[in-house]
Structure 1
Amino acid sequence: MPKSLKRIPTFQSEAEERTFWETHDSTDYVDWTKASAVRFPNLKPSSTSISIRLPNALLDSIKIAANKRDVPYQSLIKIWLSEKLDATKS
């Protein structure tokens, strides 16, 4: 006999919904056997703007390196940070 599903409540905010799903089992509310895979190819990763202070000489060196690679210096910083983080995981 199939399990009867509970009704998903209406939420007043995303924070309220997040709290709810952190404390409840989704299998009580959703029949995951009927789920199908989907793709969202146009979604961009979430990002947050930050501000960091760098010595002028370091920033100039980063800009020169970025110019040699024909990429914006902010992108090069993100690439280098990501590579460094990946290297520390291994």
Structure 2
Amino acid sequence: MSDTRKRPDFKTEEEERAFWEHHDSSDYVDWCKAEAVTLPNLKPSTKTISLRLPESLLDGIKQEAKKRDMPYQSLIKYWLANEIRRNQGTT
């Protein structure tokens, strides 16, 4: 749609949220002209999980992390992410 209305100015986030709950954004934005956005500094949401590992495995992971001078949890995440990328063929 090329005939879009001017979006109102909002004083607060709450005011804007209330507005968009009752209005269609396609009346205000020409989505055909929208471009993809990259947010390089946006940190993905995380979720805490509990993972039971044999003590010997955890000790080995901690030793490997110490060699790399990084927290062992970060090393586990790194290994998991690499394995997923490898299995998806995107390395």
TM-score by length of 2: 0.61
Aligned partner of 1:10 among 15, 21, 24? 21
Query: For 1:35 and 1:84, how far apart are their aligned partners in 2?
Result: 34
- What residue in structure 2 maps to residue 20 of structure 1? none
Aligned-pair distance for 1:3? 3.9
Query: For 1:36 and 1:84, how far apart are their aligned partners in 2?
Result: 31
Q: What are the residue-to-residue correspondences of 1:42-81 with 2, within 5 Å?
A: 42-81=41-80
Query: For 1:30 and 1:65, how far apart are their aligned partners in 2?
Result: 51
Query: For 2:56 and 2:2, how far apart are their aligned partners in 1?
Result: 67
Structure 1 runs of 4+ off > 6 angstroms? Answer: none
Unaligned residue ranges in structure 1 (runs of 5+): 12-23
Q: Which has the higher contact order (CA 8 A, sep 6+)?
A: 2
Unaligned residue ranges in structure 2 (runs of 5+): 6-18
Asked if the contact 2:62/2:72 (under 8 Å) is kept, the reply is yes
* Letter aligned with residue 67 of structure 1: K
TM-score by length of 1: 0.62
Aligned-pair distance for 1:4? 5.5
